[in-house]
Amino acid sequence: MDALPELDDVLSRAHVVSVPLVTPFRGVDRREAVLLDGPAGWSEFSPFVEYDDAEASTWLAAALDFGWRDSGAPAVRESIPVNATLPAVPLDRIAHTLSLFGDCRTVKIKVGEPGETLADDVARVGETRRLLGPAGRIRLDANGAWTVDEAEHAVRALEQFDLEYVEQPCASVPELAELRRRIHRIDVLVAADESVRKAADPLAVARAEAADLLVIKAAPLGGIDRALALVAEAGLPAVVSSALDTSIGLAMGAELAARLPALDFDCGLGTAALLADDVVAAPLRPVDGAIAVGRIAADRDALGRLAADPERTAAWRERLTRCHALLAG
């Protein structure tokens, strides 16, 4: 953005919330966030608690950009097709979890989770395929959990379920490139997520030909315009995903997806369905497999109902202050 808003102005507009989840995700059962009532509209600052200030400051840059100015990039679509997201739930809870997302044609399944085996993943993916039928689309997300050998073994075990792609099967760019070389005869694409949004050089994955597509998120990449520039320079198809945001954060992701010149894959922006409550009166949940594009405002009653306790509120305001100082410096 052109000029960094003053810290006092940002803090005066900040509301810290703690939102319960339908099912534990990433080891937590509540999602904390700072909502900002900016002059251009509501925005969200919600880096995960384990991220250091250097990484979190990029999320703040995105939140301030979205809350204090409108992107100049034109929107080319008014709704965004989205996937359902399936955490590592027991088999008997898969149908209920998928029902939260309505009529989504695509499901992203978390695999390689701590405490889970490949047999668990095979069973979960197989049950999802049975429920979806042959026309549904299935993609996997390993969050970099596998070695190259483990990833190759897993992909070969799971390809029977007609996979669309596997997201971040390995942690590093060289590992992704090696896996892609090994499975090039299998009709399963490799997508890069952490190797883009958490990398010092987010274009390295494209230069190494280590992925067939990019999974991008507006907040970790510093905002809509930066994410659009990255996709343009990488020259690869992109899927816009969320970071388990509230509906305010999802609206920023939808704005990014609306401005991509091409959108060949359903996006991971349906995760409001995993929240047991939300900060808006009408949560941005999928309807007929899509979410609408457009700014939305926080609901004042919800802000009160979901307000974080004083200790967590103070911790987030201190974190915001530290990240603002990094951006100012």
Catalytic residue among 13, 108, 110, 129: 110
The residues with which 109 forms a beta bridge, in sequence order, are 86, 140
| 217 a catalytic residue | yes
Phi, psi torsion values for 94, nearest 5 degrees: -65, -50
Radius of gyration of the chain (CA): 19
Cα–Cα dist 128/113, whole Å: 17
Cα–Cα dist 31/39, whole Å: 25
| Cβ atoms of residues 51 and 323 within 8 Å | no
Cα–Cα dist 245/275, whole Å: 9
| Cβ atoms of residues 110 and 87 within 8 Å | yes
CB atoms near residue 99 (< 10 Å): 12
Of 81, 5, 23, 62, whose CA–CA distance to 240 is shortest?
Answer: 81
User: What secondary structure letter does DSSP report for 128?
Assistant: H
| 198 a catalytic residue | no
| Cβ atoms of residues 216 and 238 within 8 Å | yes
167 labeled binding residue: yes
If you search the block for the tokens 């971040």, which residue do you land on?
168
Catalytic residue among 217, 259, 319, 324: 217
70 labeled binding residue: no
Residues annotated catalytic, as ranges:
110, 217
**Annotated binding-site ranges for Mg(2+):** 141, 167, 193
**Annotated binding-site ranges:** 141, 167, 193
